[in-house]
Amino acid sequence: MANLILDPRDQRFVLYEMLNVEELCKAPLYADFSRDMFDMALNEAEKFAASAIFPALAEGDREGCRLEAGNVFVPKCYHRCMQIYREGGWGTMSVSPETGGQGFPHVISVAAKEWFSHNTAFVNYVSLTEGAAHLVEVYGTEVQKKKYLPKMHASEWGGTMALTEAGAGTDVGNLKTKAIRQPDGTFRLQGTKIFITAGDSDLMENIIHPVLARIEGDPPGTGGISIFLVPKYLINDDGTPGKRNDFTIGSLEEKMGLHGSATCTINLGDNGECCAELLGEERQGMKIMFQMMNGARIGVGIQSLSSASIAYLHALQYAKERLQGSSLMEMKNPAAPRVSIIQHPDVRRMLIWMKAHTEGFRALLYFAALCADRCLATDDEAEKDKYNGFLEVLTPICKAYCSDMGFRVTETAIQVYGGYGYCAEYPVEQFLRDEKIASIYEGTNGIQALDLVGRKLGLKKGMYFMNLLGEMGLTIAKYQPALPDLAPDVQAAMNILAETAMLFAASGKAGKFLIPVANAYPFLMLMGQVVTAWLLLWEAGVAKEKLAAPDGGGADKLFYEGKVATARYFIKHVLPEVDAAAKAIKSEDVSMMEIADEAFAS
């Protein structure tokens, strides 16, 4: 096995054989690129991951972060990673050349970042910086862009996303941080933010915090929230960092995983001098922050894909090397030789389950990134709207389905290892610890489900959702002749998905709002399974075409056969769960709401 981070053959398959991403190069926006350039970037990403990012994974976990004299110090090994990241320009892969970036398609940037994101603790520092810089690029004044973007794009200055407060996590509108208007048009902030990922570090000479706060006198709720830029060090006229701004790092959270990622409590304005600049317009904070959060939700999907991929590949290698038990065919022969555990049916079941989900995540996230590129690369408003619609509907799936099932993949990897997987001697227990947070931050998965059911299904009067179903139907029809035993199953599951969505719509019109609300999460998981089945069927259809070629798939024959077998396993063994979920939803049972609070336990 070439590496234990991700399968580069599968990555190339999704990019070039399934999604045909080199077609992007025909668009003027990406005309300067080619497949050779894409491959060069991915090869460099692989080298960087193998030489620095992966070796820092366990070391960073052991060392963790420390808070001394108000400053956070990250694991020493991260500094080498940061230097290589900075020198390689990885932070500006998909940033437009007009603002100092390289202009790569987002799908290639996502593919490159997949190589790094297994080490989420390190990647958090750079990914949040890129997200914060994007906000400045889109909403900042020319003065703010000039002041902040060059250093942030160069990964010399960091960035965060400072939303959460005690009592105002999911309920952002309840925040208490206030912004006090100054005569010169600037603001002073007072309040406390908690759970701020990468809230401070010694990796960068300055950190720019986008902070949600309410200007004194503005209305309560989310409609009264604005967003501000709060630098750790105020900026001198010559662009260099000046005096320390009036906020402190109150504490670092002790966490289950991601020990190298500083999760900070930030106390703003204890002395009344926390200087802040308004970003965008007043009372537009949530709109602006959601742009960063949508990108962050895709980022969580990438984290989950990376965690699943590395866990699966480690479990696969272990299963091939670990000798235990005899062959099933010689189970009654005490003298039979020991075989590797990959020969045992239950281990093979776990491995193909992990393979199917991991490859499904990859196809989903790359497809979502390609949709973003298609939006940017066309002037046709109808086409732009089509791909934007796909991205809108799929974003909650990318975040919630991938993170929950990605955690299940890491859990299954531990099961493959048996008792050794539970021990720190092997890396899979860290994969699980680091992945668990993915279902919680950037909006819990329950919130993603409510977003899907309460907002995304109804966008453009349901047109975006129906367009996605139409796209899935085209794939099913295309590969029906080659996969007659699989395509009808996916079509049936897609029909169930559509029927369940219609049930929700009818329930809402009838005033039975509890039915869609109480079943939002089961619906999201149902939809995640249907979407995954669609994508795996697509992959199997492409593989069938390769196998039908005169060379029978050539040197990649086993790879293509594996694609077909993986799709068949998922569609025949996992997809039937859709029927049970739909049956439960259609029962209209809301016992979870009817049970009295006191009846949960005496």
Which pLDDT tens digit goes with each residue over 328-342? 777 788 888 888 999
Considering the domain boundaries, does residue 19 fall inside one?
yes
Among 420, 435, 432, 395, CA closest to 527: 395
Q: Is residue 206 within 8 Å of residue 231, measured between CB atoms?
A: yes
pLDDT band at 292 (very low <50, low <70, confident <90, very high): confident
**Range 273-278 average pLDDT:** 97
| Distances 9 to 14, 320, 347 between C-alpha atoms, Å | 9, 19, 23
* 431 and 501 fall within a common domain: no
* 172 and 291 fall within a common domain: yes
Q: Token pair for residue 344? A: 């045992």
Residue 280 backbone zone (phi > 0: left; psi -120 to 50: alpha; other: beta): left
* 159 and 292 fall within a common domain: yes
Considering the domain boundaries, does residue 198 fall inside one?
yes
Domain of residue 25, residue span: 1-326+337-443
pLDDT digits (tens, 9 = 90+) for 122-156: 999 999 999 999 999 999 999 999 999 999 999 99
Considering the domain boundaries, does residue 451 fall inside one?
no
Considering the domain boundaries, does residue 597 fall inside one?
no
The pLDDT assigned to 212 comes to 96
* 422 and 376 fall within a common domain: yes
Q: Which CATH number do you get for residue 41?
A: 1.20.140.10
Amino acid type, 56: A
**Range 346-375 average pLDDT:** 98
pTM of the model: 0.96
**Range 67-89 average pLDDT:** 97
* 417 and 465 fall within a common domain: no
Rg (CA), the chain: 25
Name the one residue in this structure whose structure tokens are 């030489």: 51
Q: Which of 130, 165, 359, 442 is the catalytic position?
A: 442
pLDDT digits (tens, 9 = 90+) for 583-600: 999 999 999 999 999 999
Percent of the chain clearing pLDDT 90 (strictly above): 92
Kindly report the average pLDDT of the chain as a whole number.
95
The pLDDT assigned to 1 comes to 39
Q: Which helix (H) or strand (E) holds 361?
A: helix 345-377
**Range 423-434 average pLDDT:** 97
In this model, does residue 3 exceed pLDDT 90?
no
Q: Judging by beta carbons within 10 Å of its beta carbon (0-12, 13-18, 19+), is residue 419 exposed, middle or buried? A: exposed
Considering the domain boundaries, does residue 596 fall inside one?
no
In this model, does residue 170 exceed pLDDT 80?
no
* 102 and 11 fall within a common domain: yes
* 504 and 432 fall within a common domain: no
Q: Judging by beta carbons within 10 Å of its beta carbon (0-12, 13-18, 19+), is residue 474 exposed, middle or buried? A: exposed
Among 417, 443, 469, the domain-final residue is: 443
Among 378, 474, 31, 110, CA closest to 22: 31
How far apart are alpha carbons 525 and 538 in whole angstroms? 20
Among 410, 435, 423, CA closest to 354: 410
* 342 and 485 fall within a common domain: no
Number of domains, the chain: 2
Among 413, 443, 473, the domain-final residue is: 443
Helix axes 285-321, 402-417, angle to 10 degrees: 20
Name the one residue in this structure whose structure tokens are 């079941």: 349
Q: Using the 8-state DSSP alphabet, how is residue 182 labeled?
A: -
Among 382, 413, 443, the domain-final residue is: 443
* 507 and 373 fall within a common domain: no
* Angle at CA of residue 358, ends 357 and 364, nearest 5°: 85
The pLDDT assigned to 400 comes to 97
How far apart are alpha carbons 254 and 256 in whole angstroms? 7
442 labelled catalytic = yes
Name, in order, each residue with C-beta under 8 angstroms of 261's C-beta and a sequence gap of 6 or more.
Answer: 65, 120, 121, 122, 124, 125, 197, 198
Considering the domain boundaries, does residue 55 fall inside one?
yes
pLDDT band at 516 (very low <50, low <70, confident <90, very high): very high
Q: Judging by beta carbons within 10 Å of its beta carbon (0-12, 13-18, 19+), is residue 182 exposed, middle or buried? A: exposed
Considering the domain boundaries, does residue 601 fall inside one?
no
* 381 and 252 fall within a common domain: yes
pLDDT digits (tens, 9 = 90+) for 435-449: 999 999 988 999 999
* 460 and 435 fall within a common domain: no
The pLDDT assigned to 154 comes to 94
Considering the domain boundaries, does residue 448 fall inside one?
no
Percent of the chain clearing pLDDT 70 (strictly above): 100
Name, in order, each residue with C-beta under 8 angstroms of 64's C-beta and a sequence gap of 6 or more.
Answer: 75, 259, 260
The pLDDT assigned to 2 comes to 54
* 506 and 410 fall within a common domain: no
